[in-house]
Chain A
Amino acid sequence: MNQLTALSRRSFIVGSGSFAVGVSFGLNGAQLAQAQAADFNPNGWVNIAANGTVTLMSPAAEMGQGTMTAMPMLLAEELDLDWSKVKVVQAPGNPKVFGNPRFGGGMVTGASRTVQGYYEPLRLAGAQVRLVLLDAASKAMKVPASELRTDKGRVIHTSGRSMGYGDIAKVAQVPNELPKVDKSMLKPMRDFKIIGTNLPRVDVASKSNGTAKYGIDQRLPGMLWASVLRAPVHGETLVQVDDSAAMAVPGVKRVVRLPYGVAVVATSFHTARKARDLLKPEWTRTSKARNHQTQKVLTDYLARAENLQDKGVEFFSHGQVSKSIAEAKKTFSATYTSHMVSHICLEPMNCTAKVDGDKIEVWAPSQSPSFIIGALSGAAGFKPENITVNITLLGGGFGRRVEPDYALDAALVAKAMPGTPIQVIWTREDDIAHDKFRPLTGQHLVATVDAQGKLTGLLHRVVSEGIYARVAPPAFKASGGKDSPVLEGTEVTYGIDNHAVQFMIEERGVNAGFWRAVGPGYTKFAIETLIDEVAQGVGSDPLAYRLQLLEKTPRGAAVLKEVAKMANWGRALPAGRALGLAYSDAWNTFVGMIAEVSMENGQPRVHQVWAAVDCGHALQPRNIQVQIEGSVMFGLSAALHERITLKDGEPQETNLNGYSILRASEAPLVHVNVMPTDNHPGGIGEAGLPPIAPAVANAVAKLTGKRLRSLPLTA
């Protein structure tokens, strides 16, 4: 206890309001772990060790988007750290300490909110710690703080004398009153030394030689594997099961009944899976999902989208769309559909858990410790304070890993076998059948123009299953039934005087969930193809028409002008090729995109893609380029190939032989120009996705004269 008290005098908390960043000086690894574990020392965002090594916590899940490098960069920038002495550690699953202000303090990685949420708080904290270091150095060097500056982990006096942060950490005492900081004291963009540079991502080295550890690679002494059988359709529960054949398989240790399925536990995953196939379960037959026939649902949604009398819930409205329709010189109406799509995180869902008395520890490739704690304290009956969540690397996330279902599997099985570590692995078939799909949608849009061809109004109607409605019912209810992830992307930075968005929710029993760029993946598809059609209809160039709509959005106009320059918009193309343009402003990031397309065997083939991106302060420009490129590939995959078809509620695509995703041979060249501006950063993990499908569809319209209005694109 003495040691811990001493530790606490060497640590302090900076920050304001609900966001606090804990700092400690001179702790070694073991002390650091101890300090983090101790309740009274709520945190360890930053530790400056006596040898100058600075350990920084990464609060978000690393799923390939580069957050494990980006978050520490923010602290390092304002602290003037020597990056070569920075060590990054994945933060423990403790939302009270590491929660994202943009998720109400929840530890959730998604919706392009990590940099957006932590950007200012972490920089302010870094600036404040720097002032503490300056103060301590001023006392140690016996010089006024005003004569000191910082650079690369050292405090430097005007005389040239200097002290490394490690040496300061040895003698530093936490002042009684911490120095105050505010936004005006943050470094201006021109002084950035770390933000805006292409530091190697901290997770790349281990991912380049097979040593990176994902959730599925977790190993514990005495660990057993489990495979879980669920009902063939969403929403059914287990009535009974005959497990005699499964139990007879050599290596099977246990069959555990779960409220929603049956788990087989064995000495190897292969054995567990083989035995699980021998279970004879009886499921309830009450789920609505059993009536889900994709074609029928699609027809219903289309009819509802086009039925203007059914006004649903107003998501937002400004101006008076009904008036703009009544007074329009011309209207353009179109109906759009998008099929359900699956995530296909290449690492199938999995989780490892161990129960010790009333305590549980889990190792999860998860986007959300907060959701896991919620599920384990609810459905598995553990007290939140008895739950330890370790976040591993994620082999893909894309919104799927916000859900805690796979962690609940592991927790329930581990609870039935206290003391035995259990690793649950989903097969790819499980992963697809029990996915939370991007919902099937029907959209109907009406655009109005005046005599000059100017866009005067836009009515945008979306029919879909809800996402918040399932994942966060109280928040959904409190919002008045506005399902924001479903409708994301309907807000636009185009100047449209009369604009209304209506949402007609459907409840067909099949789970809809977050997906990479979930809403904007289909809402921007509809908006951007319709704008193109309007431009064509009024005899305007699609670029010029959009630029006119962006007169009051200079950042949007700038990315469109830049991408037009990159692709040489307007040039003559070889026969059979066309360029298509689209724009996205989702997640406070502006993207102009152009795709070069031809038709092959009646299907679009994408040869090259150009993108100009303004995400404000660009933390890691090279990473932004590849994130945009990656989301282009993800969106292209969905636009060209992906579709889940349900028959009596059962997905007909069961594995990657029936559900195709984009292969290397289909990859277009992608050219990305990152255009940093002096603005708060926007999101970059999803921003490239919304414009790719409409850019391709707009090019196809030029080639064939036919407007494609369904996702996936079927010519």
Chain B
Amino acid sequence: MVSLTVNEKKVSVDAAPDTPLLWVLREQFNLTGTKFGCGIAQCGACTVHVDGEPVRSCSVPLASVAGRKVTTIEGVMQTRTGKALEAAWNKEQTPQCGYCQSGQIMSAANLLNKNKALLSRTEILQALSGNLCRCGTYNQIASAVSSAQKTLTGSKA
């Protein structure tokens, strides 16, 4: 049994300690917003926050998050940052196939939570270069992140 907090709820999990957090979230908690892409922390589709830091949940063993706070896309969507990103993603019509977008939003949320100064397109793309998008929506992602940041900081969009 491993105890941890998932989206602000204390939970216990009965699974092998080497089970990647990704599969615990998807199978035990049915939090399917977090996606499996490569299994080796290369694509970013499985990005979640552990104690506020982005991690690739495909490569994080369950045992290592005992007692820690895990936030998934489902949790981030309840936050002010998440809602601003969701609105911007809709406004920019960002997703195509959409499969990578949970991970993109998780990385973007971390970026916006840590940066109050307005970010340029280049800075955003650089910061999100660990999240692959096979459909090639990078420029729409950059526009959406920029738009969400303006909403959050109250500057004119």
Of A217, A394, A622, A656, which is within 8 A of B32 by CB? A217
- Known pairs A344-B134, A346-B97, A629-B136; A204 contacts B90 (CB<8 A): yes
The reply to whether A664 and B42 form a contact with Cβ atoms under 8 Å apart is no
The reply to whether B137 and A626 form a contact with Cβ atoms under 8 Å apart is yes
Query: Of residues 418 to 432 in A, which have CB atoms within 8 Å of B's CB atoms?
Result: 425, 427-429
- Given pairs A397-B97, A662-B136, 13 additional interface contacts (CB within 8 A): A64-B135, A208-B98, A208-B101, A269-B27, A270-B16, A345-B134, A346-B132, A393-B97, A393-B98, A425-B36, A428-B40, A634-B135, A637-B136
Q: How far in angstroms is the closest Cβ of chain B from A272?
A: 10
B141 cross-chain contacts in A, Cβ below 8 A? 664
Closest A residue to B125 by CB, please name it: A664
- Known pairs A346-B97, A655-B40; A667 contacts B16 (CB<8 A): no
Q: Counting CB contacts under 8 A, is B4 at the interface?
A: no
A207 cross-chain contacts in B, Cβ below 8 A? 89, 95, 98, 101
Q: Counting CB contacts under 8 A, is A378 at the interface?
A: no
Q: How far in angstroms is the closest Cβ of chain A from B104?
A: 9
Q: A269 CA to B131 CA in the complex, in Å? A: 23
Q: A208 CA to B98 CA in the complex, in Å? A: 8
Query: Of residues 637 to 670 in A, which have CB atoms within 8 Å of B's CB atoms?
Result: 637, 655-657, 661-667, 669-670
16 A/B residue pairs, CB under 8 Å, sorted by A: A64-B96, A203-B95, A208-B98, A210-B33, A210-B72, A214-B99, A345-B97, A347-B36, A395-B99, A626-B96, A655-B38, A656-B42, A662-B136, A664-B131, A664-B133, A667-B125
A225 cross-chain contacts in B, Cβ below 8 A? 27
Closest B residue to A214 by CB, please name it: B99
Q: How far in angstroms is the closest Cβ of chain A from B19?
A: 5
Closest B residue to A62 by CB, please name it: B97
B125 cross-chain contacts in A, Cβ below 8 A? 664-665, 667
B36 cross-chain contacts in A, Cβ below 8 A? 216, 347-348, 425
The reply to whether B137 and A630 form a contact with Cβ atoms under 8 Å apart is yes
Closest B residue to A223 by CB, please name it: B27
Q: A396 CA to B98 CA in the complex, in Å? A: 8
Q: Pick the most buried of B34, B36, B133, B134: most chain A CB atoms within 10 A of its CB.
A: B134
A213 cross-chain contacts in B, Cβ below 8 A? 32
Q: A633 CA to B135 CA in the complex, in Å? A: 8
- Known pairs A269-B27, A664-B125; A347 contacts B133 (CB<8 A): no
Q: Counting CB contacts under 8 A, is B15 at the interface?
A: yes
The reply to whether B96 and A630 form a contact with Cβ atoms under 8 Å apart is yes
Q: How far in angstroms is the closest Cβ of chain A from B89?
A: 4
Closest B residue to A251 by CB, please name it: B16
A268 cross-chain contacts in B, Cβ below 8 A? 15, 19, 23, 27
The reply to whether A204 and B93 form a contact with Cβ atoms under 8 Å apart is yes
Q: A643 CA to B23 CA in the complex, in Å? A: 30
Q: How far in angstroms is the closest Cβ of chain B from A669?
A: 7
Query: Of residues 84 to 136 in B, which have CB atoms within 8 Å of A's CB atoms?
Result: 86, 89-90, 93-102, 105, 124-126, 128-136
A657 cross-chain contacts in B, Cβ below 8 A? 40, 42
Interface mask (B17-56 → A, CB under 8 Å = 1, otherwise 0): 0011001000100101111111110110100000000000
The reply to whether B97 and A428 form a contact with Cβ atoms under 8 Å apart is no
Interface mask (A549-587 → B, CB under 8 Å = 1, otherwise 0): 000000000000000000000000000000000000000
Q: A110 CA to B126 CA in the complex, in Å? A: 33
Of A210, A214, A393, A655, which is within 8 A of B39 by CB? A655
B3 cross-chain contacts in A, Cβ below 8 A? none
Q: Counting CB contacts under 8 A, is A452 at the interface?
A: no
Q: Counting CB contacts under 8 A, is A212 at the interface?
A: yes
Q: Counting CB contacts under 8 A, is B153 at the interface?
A: no
Q: Counting CB contacts under 8 A, is B64 at the interface?
A: no
Total contacts A to B, CB within 8 angstroms? 175
B98 cross-chain contacts in A, Cβ below 8 A? 64, 203-204, 206-208, 212, 393, 395
Q: A623 CA to B137 CA in the complex, in Å? A: 12
Of B38, B129, B133, B136, which is within 8 A of A665 by CB? B129
Q: How far in angstroms is the closest Cβ of chain B from A687?
A: 14
The reply to whether A210 and B77 form a contact with Cβ atoms under 8 Å apart is yes
Q: Counting CB contacts under 8 A, is A211 at the interface?
A: yes
Q: A205 CA to B102 CA in the complex, in Å? A: 12
Closest A residue to B30 by CB, please name it: A219
Q: Counting CB contacts under 8 A, is A595 at the interface?
A: no
Q: Counting CB contacts under 8 A, is A237 at the interface?
A: no
Interface mask (A140-152 → B, CB under 8 Å = 1, otherwise 0): 0000000000000
Q: How far in angstroms is the closest Cβ of chain B from A66?
A: 8
- Known pairs A64-B135, A347-B99, A657-B40; A270 contacts B35 (CB<8 A): no
B140 cross-chain contacts in A, Cβ below 8 A? 626
B32 cross-chain contacts in A, Cβ below 8 A? 213, 216-217, 219
The reply to whether B37 and A633 form a contact with Cβ atoms under 8 Å apart is no
Interface mask (B59-94 → A, CB under 8 Å = 1, otherwise 0): 000000000000011100100001000100110011
Q: Counting CB contacts under 8 A, is A331 at the interface?
A: no
Q: A344 CA to B136 CA in the complex, in Å? A: 13
B93 cross-chain contacts in A, Cβ below 8 A? 200-201, 204, 622-623, 626
The reply to whether A396 and B131 form a contact with Cβ atoms under 8 Å apart is no
Q: How far in angstroms is the closest Cβ of chain B from A694?
A: 18
Q: A664 CA to B129 CA in the complex, in Å? A: 5
Of A219, A427, A655, A670, which is within 8 A of B139 by CB? A670
A631 cross-chain contacts in B, Cβ below 8 A? 136
Of B73, B132, B137, which is within 8 A of A663 by CB? B132
Q: A428 CA to B124 CA in the complex, in Å? A: 27
Q: A473 CA to B96 CA in the complex, in Å? A: 33
A205 cross-chain contacts in B, Cβ below 8 A? 90
A346 cross-chain contacts in B, Cβ below 8 A? 35, 37, 43, 45, 97, 99-100, 132-134
Q: How far in angstroms is the closest Cβ of chain B from A360?
A: 23
Q: How far in angstroms is the closest Cβ of chain A from B23?
A: 5
Q: Counting CB contacts under 8 A, is A601 at the interface?
A: no
Q: Counting CB contacts under 8 A, is A632 at the interface?
A: yes
Q: How far in angstroms is the closest Cβ of chain B from A342?
A: 11
- List the 7 closest A-B pairs by CB distance, nearest first: A633-B136, A210-B33, A395-B99, A207-B98, A64-B96, A64-B97, A210-B73
